[in-house]
Structure 1
Amino acid sequence: MTVGPTCGHCGQALTEPHPRCEQMLAMEPPRFCTECGRRMKVQVTPRDWAATCVEHGTLLG
């Protein structure tokens, strides 16, 4: 498991900027938990989205 802040789009460590990932996150929900790097369960509806990490809970968009 990755320790430290991770990218919500690709799940890699944030040791440098991820400009493409930032663009993608502006249009879609995160796929990875930014705290632990785990893959999240993502549910998208016509109005919003929810992304759930088993350790850190749910983000709503």
Structure 2
Amino acid sequence: MAFNVYTGEPDGTEIPTAAQLGLEPPRFCAECGRRMVVQVRPDGWSAKCSRHGLIDSKDFEQR
């Protein structure tokens, strides 16, 4: 089962407007729905799930 990374609800729920505009980092793990520890930096963000590890905004940048 997949989860909405902005709300923690099952995938398919509506994405908040701020997230659609790219102004909000993900707060919940897409794999388990647990709340993540999020660090916002001037150049992006990083988020860590206690079960699934670290993701970083740099991972989503196109090269």
RMSD value over aligned CA atoms?
Answer: 1.7
Aligned residue pairs, count: 56
Tell me what 1:36 maps to.
Answer: 32
Q: Which runs of 5+ in 1 are unaligned?
A: none
Query: 1:22 and 1:51 mapped to 2: Cα distance?
Result: 20
TM-score (structure 1 length as normaliser):
0.78
Amino acid at match of 2:43: R
Maintained 8 Å contact 2:3/2:32: yes
The runs of at least 4 aligned residues of structure 1 exceeding 6 Å deviation read: none
Please state whether the residue corresponding to 2:16 is helix, strand or coil.
helix
Alignment of 1:24 onto 2:44: no
The match for 1:11 is 8
Instruction: Check conservation: 2:4, 2:13, Cα contact below 8 A.
Output: no
Number of the residue aligned with 1:48: 44
The aligned amino acid for 2:27 is R
1:48 positional shift: 1.4
Deviations along 1:1-60, one digit per CA (max 9) or x if unpaired, are xxx10000000001x342x33751532210000000000000001111100001000110
TM-score, length-scaled by structure 2: 0.76
